[in-house]
């Protein structure tokens, strides 16, 4: 499976999270163009919008430039999409004029090689236009090293995202992420219970207003306000794209309300157009409840999580996995 941050149907040119070395890809296109004495060489990606040129070799004519988008309904691209692992060598005279994009006017042959994501699904194709080859079958094999190189870079990209997902900090806010909260919160909860502290789980979620569309800067703002409000012993995390969670150690339930009201007041002062949805649960030190059901109880009290709203919005919220938070290594007896 691909990492959650990678949507194979989204162009790598539009996804800021994908740090693909496009300069290196362009160099490979230049080498291929020189080897085959071709007119154009480019890398196509299959996206939800169609086939998009990601990088291409340098050309005197403004054709097949980065970002050029072709509709998927052309028979040529359907052939590329269904090509075998060894690729295809196509004579474009087999297609009618209306079966080819106008950019391919004057192109007689196309040599292609499929490029795959690490999970095996197709990324797109490496295309060479008008290659000069005495023996197409043998000479086309020279594309394989370039194909492997591009696929290795996609594999490295996915591996980097998996490593980042295992890091404990959220890049957007600097807070703990889901993994960090999973590692830190159970230990802190058991330690707090050991010393007789009450605990509260608070969920915060920004909601859109008619005047404001949520952006990354709004989540950073809320994250900063939460971190400025809680104490050092408390644990806060950017749990998901829209939700923040706090494990707070308090003297009583009114302290939870104080935290919520303080964050709401500061948010209104910073940006009055933003609306905050909150939910919380309070637990006494003698409680034996595990962290996952505590979190599920608090999150269920968000207004946006009410049955009426989830049905209206068509949301399918993932249940908190209790197994992730029941780690024997954080048992209070070991602290």
Q: What is the CATH number of the domain that holds 47?
A: 3.30.450.40
Question: Cβ distance 57 to 26 under 8 Å?
Answer: yes
pLDDT per residue as tens digits for the range 207-230: 866 556 788 888 999 999 999 999
Give yes or no: residues 111 and 185 share one domain.
no
- 263 found inside a domain: yes
Give yes or no: residues 304 and 249 share one domain.
yes
pLDDT per residue as tens digits for the range 21-72: 899 999 999 999 999 999 999 999 999 999 999 999 998 888 999 999 999 8
> How far apart, in whole angstroms, are the C-alpha atoms of residue 279 and residue 297?
9
The low-confidence residues of the chain, meaning pLDDT below 70, are: 16-18, 136-138, 165, 208-212, 307-335
Q: What is the pLDDT of residue 54?
A: 96
Q: What is the pLDDT of residue 30?
A: 95
Best CA proximity match to 114, nearest among 148, 91, 142, 155: 148
Tokens of 185: 């919160």
Decide which of 142, 166, 190 is a domain's last residue. Answer: 166
Give the count of domains, the chain: 2
- 287 found inside a domain: yes
Question: Cβ distance 298 to 203 under 8 Å?
Answer: yes
> How far apart, in whole angstroms, are the C-alpha atoms of residue 189 and residue 293?
13
Neighbour tally for 289: CB within 10 Å: 14
Give yes or no: residues 322 and 269 share one domain.
yes
């Amino acid at each position: 499976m691909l990492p959650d941050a990678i949507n194979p149907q989204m162009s790598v040119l539009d996804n800021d999270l994908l740090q693909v070395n496009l300069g290196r890809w362009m160099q490979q296109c230049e080498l291929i163009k020189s080897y085959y004495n071709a007119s154009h060489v480019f890398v196509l990606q299959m996206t939800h919008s169609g086939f998009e040129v990601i990088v291409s070799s340098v050309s005197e004519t403004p054709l097949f430039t980065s970002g050029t988008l072709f509709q998927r309904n052309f028979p040529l691209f359907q052939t590329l999409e269904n090509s075998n692992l060894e690729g295809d060598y196509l004579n474009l005279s087999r297609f009618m004029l209306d079966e080819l994009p106008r950019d391919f006017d004057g192109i007689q042959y196309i040599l292609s090689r499929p490029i795959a994501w690490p999970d095996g699904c197709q990324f797109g194709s490496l295309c060479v236009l008008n290659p000069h080859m005495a023996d197409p079958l043998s000479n086309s094999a020279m594309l394989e090293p370039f194909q492997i190189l591009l696929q290795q870079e996609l594999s490295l990209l996915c591996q980097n995202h998996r490593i980042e997902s295992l890091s404990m900090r959220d890049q957007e806010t600097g807070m703990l992420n889901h993994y960090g909260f999973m590692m830190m919160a159970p230990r802190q909860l058991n330690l707090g219970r050991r010393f007789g502290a009450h605990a509260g789980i608070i969920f915060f979620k920004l909601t859109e207003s008619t005047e404001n569309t949520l952006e990354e800067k709004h989540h950073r703002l809320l994250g900063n306000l939460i971190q400025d409000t809680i104490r050092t012993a408390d644990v806060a995390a950017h749990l998901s794209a829209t939700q923040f969670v706090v494990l707070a150690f308090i003297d009583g339930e009114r302290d939870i309300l104080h935290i919520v009201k303080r964050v709401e007041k500061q948010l209104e002062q910073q940006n009055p157009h933003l609306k905050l949805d909150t939910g919380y649960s309070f637990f006494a030190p003698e409680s034996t409840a595990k962290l996952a059901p505590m979190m599920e109880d608090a999150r269920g009290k968000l207004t946006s999580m009410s049955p009426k709203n989830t049905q209206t919005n068509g949301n399918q919220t993932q249940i908190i996995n209790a197994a992730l938070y029941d780690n024997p290594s954080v048992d209070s007896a070991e602290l």
